[in-house]
Structure 1
């Protein structure tokens, strides 16, 4: 038995260098599933990836009904041709024809939402209902290139209002910000890193800071030979409720640190940065006005009273937001990048040495007569299509339409009914998981978001059984071995917390993608495995730890 344990540990140790998301595929295989197909065998519980099993239905119904209306508008042109040829929608009388469409389809799912959305755009945002309907119809028909390429005109205004509500809230915010609609948060990351490099805002050997733990690609991208950045970690710890101490944040005072990248609320610990820490960072920025901040706030909409770092330090912060998790829309690939119109990036571009400016001038001169004045966010757009294809840049227009409908759904939901329902859903799942593991469920931390749960083995085991047991456990088991045991023996798939930069061996449980009964099964499996280790420890050391003790 001892030999087989060592053999298993040796086999799994070879996988330690893999990204958690690649290791997930190996864990799925160990659990008897397929890495390339969704498992048909429901006995396998895959809590590894954060793809939610819930989604927003009302704005989707609205999308399909809008598509039917747009098709009717298209077929008004070339009606004399029987071959199925349509045309662009007509602006004149569009609002009146939409009202007729609504009356004809009263009671159909999505119709009331669409009618309300048009009313909200007209009455609350002060925009032309006719112009809005035209942009939506042309967009959903996908009959034209995205114009403007950065984002459709009214779509940018509406999504901007949504981000103001969800990311800024009641916090004072002076000025306007620009948006670039992108293919989800992953595209945002790719574009930002690339444009910062192309414009010499970061170069090999430069130092950046990462708020750890963090979404794995933020750790992996700086290491690539494309960037070769020197990374300073700012560590939030489980002992400190996953918050950054002031001593960690003080690392940002180092003038050699050019940028700080943060996921807030964090992934995998799923805790939002405290108000005190946000203010502390904002105060550091006042001392270091050249510091570039990036905050990835995809989970912000699951938090209570969320305020983004973008609200407190808008001139220095790039905001990244994705619609994927909150609306259950990972397959849509919907995201946005926001920058204040008065921002440090444009100022740093203006301060580049003349020889670098000359190179940048040449890079962008084919798309503008004033390449030196091109804003950072517009360089993102151009670089996303290798500059030469700038004229075909932009997120597909049907994607932008769905993004707008998601935004309006949230803006119109003034009592936050949808948001509160999702919070109840994931927090009930967390309670089910914790109850079965034997972790006391204390939901008193206002910064907890609970999209994920991090099962920190070292922290929980020390709290329950003491440091001596922890030292024995770490000596006798590799972190990935525990994950593979869960996969092989209990058919439970979790992701390794170490891959996200956690300090201790841990497993990330997504609370979004399974049902409550499944989390109870996962909790039982984790508890059973831990109890086995306690029994083995007692047998080998002569101690008498209680295997059923609450963690």
Structure 2
């Protein structure tokens, strides 16, 4: 066992630390590195991708119709006249090809459930696939917004009553959404330096790292979830939100890294604080893991006026490389209300900021300011996610809407939950899941694991000697396994985050066995005798 001191790395972001752990884990040529540090899934949705390729075949055929006489790979913009009939003929000619049935079902669903004219939809899809026009509207293609909005309503509301319409802005992944939100809040005077940001912790580390940046200089208030109640909030923690100096509350639900959703009771308690005690509070809920949870309901449904919803298609559909995310905001919202209530001096400054977009800049809604600010306002006319990205996003949304029996959803959930059980069993403990556990990640409480394996006295020694952080480096050095520290996500106890999405079940068996091996070595050091 190495005696090297790794404390010099304690202040690194967990994702920067990951690179150092990978370097250590890869140092031995005679073993395979197992990286469970990053949550990139090793599964993906194939049907909407097949449909994308099939749509692409038709789209290119349409482009070739215009200038085929030039015989030089030269195409033109798709023609609307007769487009739907040509598409139906195309599907008929390729009815035995993968993706065709999906496209038929998608157009049928759009007409029957969303009242979208199929002719208009197929034109948007073909032109969008070809990427031959700027995104118009820049916030999101018209039918793509409707379809993605329907998918969000399906996944985020779970039967809760709708509180009016909401708009959707397509972004380059969930991380871009986070960036745009903080930029626009600051640019519009809705937050200022010194205003407090409350974070539901543990939380995805960038939410911890953005507010203290010099651009924002916003103190962070932890609203801590408690491990003893399966990562829910206490009344005392929620009471912190009543502080009027707190302007923004950010939460990842289900949480990262504990991977637990707010219980129905906790969700109602959080919503009650917002709706009854802090109707002025700006809320950002990041719900990227909601589609892996059972019966998920978002704060976007429970506190609709206050909440910006961030969602990414990356994890559920295995599309991290596509960079597909959205921001959703109800039309009736406190952000627009706050903009209207700004001092005249601030409004005058903002008039100048947005004057190139319209003669009535004060009427620009928050959701559209997010779009403009994402391109420094002056480039608003070229804002928006690329149209091929939006078409793939639309097809992913259709995949969710068409999954009536939850076949894909159940497969994804059962896969990660089986991996959780395998990991626990091979660590030498009995697997235990609470009703709100999601298991996209799992957080290994190293103190609890030490106690379960070798008793409370050893667990106390493990903590007193600060072995939790050291554990990660020894695990990487001795076994080639890479995990991330819970500390980087504002977890109090010594812990390690394991992504259950990106390796094989056999790998998780190895990780569990290796984790137990290292804990056992610590026990032998503690006891002075073999375990």
TM-score exceeds 0.5: yes
Contact 1:179/1:336 (CA < 8 Å) preserved in 2? Answer: yes
Q: CA deviation at 1:237?
A: 2.4
For residues 449-480 of structure 1, the C-alpha deviation after alignment (integer angstroms, 9 at most, x for no partner) is 00001001123334554543233212334433
The CA distance in 2 between the partners of 1:464 and 1:380, in whole Å, is 51
The CA distance in 2 between the partners of 1:538 and 1:137, in whole Å, is 69
Q: Which runs of 5+ in 1 are unaligned?
A: 35-39
The CA distance in 2 between the partners of 1:29 and 1:465, in whole Å, is 31
For residues 333-376 of structure 1, the C-alpha deviation after alignment (integer angstroms, 9 at most, x for no partner) is 00000000010000011111111111111100111111111111
SS at match of 2:68: coil
Give 1:261-272 correspondences, 5 Å limit: 261-272=250-261
Q: Does 2:328 match 1:338?
A: yes
Give 1:262-411 correspondences, 5 Å limit: 262-285=251-274, 286-411=276-401
In structure 2, the partner of 1:98 is 87
The CA distance in 2 between the partners of 1:442 and 1:476, in whole Å, is 28
For residues 399-424 of structure 1, the C-alpha deviation after alignment (integer angstroms, 9 at most, x for no partner) is 00000000001101100100000111
The CA distance in 2 between the partners of 1:79 and 1:41, in whole Å, is 57
The CA distance in 2 between the partners of 1:27 and 1:120, in whole Å, is 47
Contact 1:458/1:505 (CA < 8 Å) preserved in 2? Answer: yes
The CA distance in 2 between the partners of 1:193 and 1:502, in whole Å, is 24
In structure 2, the partner of 1:142 is 131
Q: Residues 237 and 42 (structure 1 numbering): CA distance in 2 closer, same or farther, change over 3 Å?
A: farther
Q: How many residues align?
A: 530
SS at match of 2:114: coil
Contact 1:237/1:503 (CA < 8 Å) preserved in 2? Answer: no
* Pairing partner for 1:18 from 9, 12, 18: 12
Q: Does 2:119 match 1:154?
A: no
Q: CA deviation at 1:278?
A: 1.2
Q: Does 2:71 match 1:82?
A: yes
Give 1:7-156 correspondences, 5 Å limit: 8-9=4-5, 12-32=6-26, 43-156=32-145
Q: Residues 411 and 182 (structure 1 numbering): CA distance in 2 closer, same or farther, change over 3 Å?
A: same
Contact 2:475/2:482 (CA < 8 Å) preserved in 1? Answer: yes
* Pairing partner for 1:189 from 152, 174, 178: 178
* Pairing partner for 1:415 from 398, 405, 413: 405
Q: CA deviation at 1:42?
A: 7.5
Q: Which moved more, 1:310-319 or 1:480-489?
A: 480-489
Normalising by the residue count of structure 1, what TM-score does the alignment of the two structures yield? 0.94
* Pairing partner for 1:533 from 500, 522, 531: 522
SS at match of 1:112: helix
Contact 1:246/1:277 (CA < 8 Å) preserved in 2? Answer: no
The CA distance in 2 between the partners of 1:284 and 1:480, in whole Å, is 36
In structure 1, the partner of 2:248 is 259
Q: Does 2:230 match 1:230?
A: no
For residues 178-231 of structure 1, the C-alpha deviation after alignment (integer angstroms, 9 at most, x for no partner) is 110000000000000010011111111111100000000000001111111011
Q: CA deviation at 1:41?
A: 8.7
Q: Which moved more, 1:461-470 or 1:230-239?
A: 461-470
SS at match of 1:320: strand
The CA distance in 1 between the partners of 2:347 and 2:339, in whole Å, is 8
SS at match of 1:159: helix
SS at match of 1:223: coil
Q: Residues 41 and 84 (structure 1 numbering): CA distance in 2 closer, same or farther, change over 3 Å?
A: farther
Q: CA deviation at 1:121?
A: 1.1
The CA distance in 1 between the partners of 2:255 and 2:9, in whole Å, is 25
The CA distance in 2 between the partners of 1:403 and 1:184, in whole Å, is 11
Contact 1:47/1:493 (CA < 8 Å) preserved in 2? Answer: yes
Contact 1:33/1:44 (CA < 8 Å) preserved in 2? Answer: no
The CA distance in 2 between the partners of 1:33 and 1:395, in whole Å, is 40
The CA distance in 1 between the partners of 2:460 and 2:490, in whole Å, is 21
In structure 2, the partner of 1:518 is 507
The CA distance in 2 between the partners of 1:305 and 1:484, in whole Å, is 38
Contact 2:66/2:75 (CA < 8 Å) preserved in 1? Answer: yes
**Stretches of 4+ moved more than 4 A in 1?**
463-467
Contact 2:292/2:413 (CA < 8 Å) preserved in 1? Answer: yes
Normalising by the residue count of structure 2, what TM-score does the alignment of the two structures yield? 0.97
Contact 1:151/1:395 (CA < 8 Å) preserved in 2? Answer: yes
The CA distance in 2 between the partners of 1:249 and 1:526, in whole Å, is 35
Q: CA deviation at 1:123?
A: 2.1
Contact 1:454/1:507 (CA < 8 Å) preserved in 2? Answer: yes
Contact 1:494/1:508 (CA < 8 Å) preserved in 2? Answer: yes
Q: Which runs of 5+ in 2 are unaligned?
A: none
Contact 1:20/1:496 (CA < 8 Å) preserved in 2? Answer: yes
The CA distance in 1 between the partners of 2:27 and 2:221, in whole Å, is 38
Q: Does 2:399 match 1:430?
A: no
Q: Does 2:172 match 1:178?
A: no
| Root mean square deviation, CA, Å | 1.6
The CA distance in 2 between the partners of 1:394 and 1:497, in whole Å, is 35
The CA distance in 2 between the partners of 1:53 and 1:296, in whole Å, is 22
